[in-house]
A = this chain, B = another copy of it.
Amino acid sequence: MIREITRPDFASFWPTFSAIIQAQETYALDPDMTQQDAFSLWCGSTLNAYAYVENDAVLGIYYIKPNGMGPSQHICNCGYMVASEARGKGIARLLCQHSQDMALERGFKAMQFNSVVSTNEVAVTLWQKLGFSIVGTIPKAYKHARLGLVDSYVMYKWL
C-alpha cells in the first residue's frame, strides 16, 4: 500500500497538495507554486518519495531526504501529506512509521522536522506519540492564514 511515488501518483495527489499549501495553515511552501515546482521539491533527485495507495487512489504522500551534509548527514528530514477525505484513519501514522524504517535502512540515525506549525495540534500530538520531542520553538515563524504570526516547532527523534 505504500510504494515509491510515480509522476502520475503525484499528479493525482496534486489537488490535495495544492489545497494544503493554499490553506497556509501547515506548510511553509509558496501557496501559488506550480505542480511542476511542487514535484521537483517533493520528488526531486536528492529525495525519495512514497505514496500511500488504496484502490488506486493516492491518499497520502511523504518524502525523505538528508537534513544536513557531512557532519550532520546522519539526520534526515521528512514531510507528510494526507488527503482530507482520508484523515483520522491513521495514514499519517503509517507514513511516519514507514519513513522511520526507510531512514534506518538508508543509514540515518535521527529524524528532524524543521517547521511544525505550533497550532497544528493534530500533527504535534501525533509526532509526540511517535517518539518525537519539541527541541526548539521559533517565535512568529509562520504567518497562519487565520491566526496571523504563530510559532513553529523543531521536532526531533533519535531513531
Contact = CB atoms under 8 A, between A and B. Distances in A.
Contacts of A24: 70-71
A14 interface: no
Interface in A102-123: 109-110, 112, 114-115
A9 to B, nearest CB: 23
Interface stretch (A42-50, A90-98, A151-159): A151-159
Contacts of A4: none
B71 A142 contact: yes
Contact of A75 (B141, B154, B158): B141
Interface of A: 21, 24, 27-31, 33, 68-75, 109-110, 112, 114-115, 135-145, 152, 154, 156, 158
